Chain A
């Protein structure tokens, strides 16, 4: 088990954004975390990656307790993530976004960097090579010199994934990778995610768009901060509670 979340609870004031949440992720799978807007999906990611501190509960990753770790420490242990909004370094080029994200592997010491030693120059050459490889993997090598802020929405989201891959993550957390995309962009992104998994990265993907389930081996459904159900995509699709949460007797979300 790569990631194990147990009894995770987060209060904002008196409101429980996440309550008594349990979830595990096995090595090599794509796990989906779906639920309507405001269900607590992003809060959960922020709790796991140290952006927020949980009120209660425990997060274990790869044998380490990461419950109260800071974001950069969590990244160092091997969790990469993307963001729903604000997904990149807007004024860097696509290539610079990825190369700047290679902070950890390989890591140069401050003195090596400042004095431009052979170690640093070798590391930078390696980083450039790796960055180009990642851009090729996610299909962005054609726009590597564009400023990130000038990219179309779908490409920006994909760049977010490319950036997260620079952490060389064992686990990749994707926050709404296909939200707000047109069908072409969705196909482009889903292909990219599949290729990433083939490279051996375990993935948790948060979405409210049900199409994401095509990718997932297993799906966890969350609503009002609580787990409603979990299972194979097919089972979840037919679950009455899920249909209730999504459609709520009203129109399609």
Chain B
């Protein structure tokens, strides 16, 4: 982890610079529906908001030194949990969306505890198979989950016939609130403890940090927001299929995080926007998306190990502060 993100939002002229920029960006995005009225464009933005929540929450788990490969599946847990409760028990989507997050959190923590003993590759593999198992459970769920043919008839968040605009603002708001919650989590002593564990679990536990507790906490919080995003997705698309939350979905979330920059809070947000929006604006290229993404990933790995977030800094050091460029490139 880059140290300057540890306790203070570094660089910038005053402590208000970053919040001001962030608020400015949110305002611009909030104005967009006035300019871009096409339902399809709004739809793409809505999906982007949903996936940024999942990507940012995935990174929260990664800061604790765990690399889970089940985050897409936990979106699925939230999505199916919320959809099924709303459909079969008739609960309001306004309740089932947070509930979807809580269900994902519960299952995440339950499985996170035994997994807290696993490290590195073993953790990744263990979570990978757990994620796949979740999808099989969904497929095996018969009429409860809709099985292979998918779950339909999910109650919508807003009355049927509502335009995309309320959804746009709902998910923008949900994303902003989620980011604020996760930002506070990361930049408090809780996040510092997680980063300490990631750097050396031996040293961290020798100063009294309960490693298992903190790792499970990180997984719980990460899964809550994945479930929240998934539950929102369910009450927006109204149709669910297990394939949406398969291993591929997880891999895309990992790509968003890696390409945007795993060491920076806004990295996954930038990564998601770029990887979702670029193919949409160049629609002829859509079938090449996996190739383009792989290409971007390679470029990022070789030139910007800190992810796309470091691009401005990289340009600055390459062209304006010659001789200082090693500062950017000797990433951990």
Contact = CB atoms under 8 A, between A and B. Distances in A.
Interface string A68-112: 001110011000110100111111110010001111100010100
A90 B185 contact: no
A91 B207 contact: no
Nearest to B2: A91
Interface in B192-240: 192-193, 195-196, 199-200, 202-211, 217
Interface in A184-205: none
Contacts of B206: 49, 71, 75, 80-81, 83, 164, 167
Interface in A127-152: 147
Contact of A100 (B196, B210, B211): B196
A70 B193 contact: no
Nearest to B206: A81
A91 B208 contact: no
A163 B203 CA distance: 9
A114 interface: yes
A35 B279 CA distance: 65
B208 A92 contact: no
A216 interface: no
A215 interface: no
A86 B202 contact: yes
B303 interface: no
A72 B202 contact: no
A166 interface: yes
Given A72-B211, A114-B190, A147-B3, A91 B199 contact: yes
Given A72-B211, A93-B3, A100-B192, A114 B205 contact: no
Given A89-B196, A113-B190, A147-B3, A51 B207 contact: no
Contacts, number: 92
Contacts of B185: 114
A110 B211 CA distance: 14
Given A92-B196, A93-B3, A51 B202 contact: yes
Given A72-B208, A100-B193, A91 B188 contact: no
B204 to A, nearest CB: 8
A80 B2 CA distance: 27
A71 B7 CA distance: 26
Interface string B1-19: 1110011000000000000
A164 B207 contact: yes
Given A75-B208, A101-B207, A110 B190 contact: yes
Contact of B208 (A104, A110, A124): A104
B189 A91 contact: no
A119 interface: no
Contacts of B209: 72, 103
A53 B217 CA distance: 25
A108 B208 CA distance: 13
A196 B2 CA distance: 31
B200 A89 contact: yes
Interface residues of A, number: 36
A86 B6 contact: no
Main DSSP-derived SS at the B contact region: helix
Interface string B299-332: 0000000000000000000000000000000001
B184 A114 contact: yes
A70 B205 contact: yes
A73 to B, nearest CB: 8
Given A91-B3, A92-B196, A114-B184, A86 B203 contact: yes
Contacts of B6: 92-93, 96
Contact of B7 (A96, A101, A164): A96
* Residue from B188, B207, B211, B332 whose CB has the most chain A CB atoms within 10 Å: B207
A178 B206 CA distance: 20
B202 A83 contact: yes
A76 to B, nearest CB: 5
A103 B203 contact: no
Nearest to B7: A96
A116 interface: yes
Contacts of B189: 108, 113, 120, 124
B125 to A, nearest CB: 24
Given A72-B211, A147-B3, A89 B184 contact: no
A92 B19 CA distance: 24
Contacts of A76: 208
B117 to A, nearest CB: 12
Given A70-B210, A103-B207, 20 more contacts: A51-B205, A71-B202, A71-B211, A72-B209, A72-B210, A72-B211, A83-B203, A86-B200, A89-B199, A89-B203, A90-B200, A91-B195, A91-B199, A91-B332, A92-B3, A102-B207, A103-B209, A108-B189, A113-B190, A114-B188
14 contacts: A51-B205, A71-B202, A72-B205, A80-B206, A91-B3, A92-B3, A93-B3, A96-B7, A100-B207, A113-B189, A114-B188, A116-B188, A147-B3, A163-B203
Interface of B: 1-3, 6-7, 184-185, 188-190, 192-193, 195-196, 199-200, 202-211, 217, 332
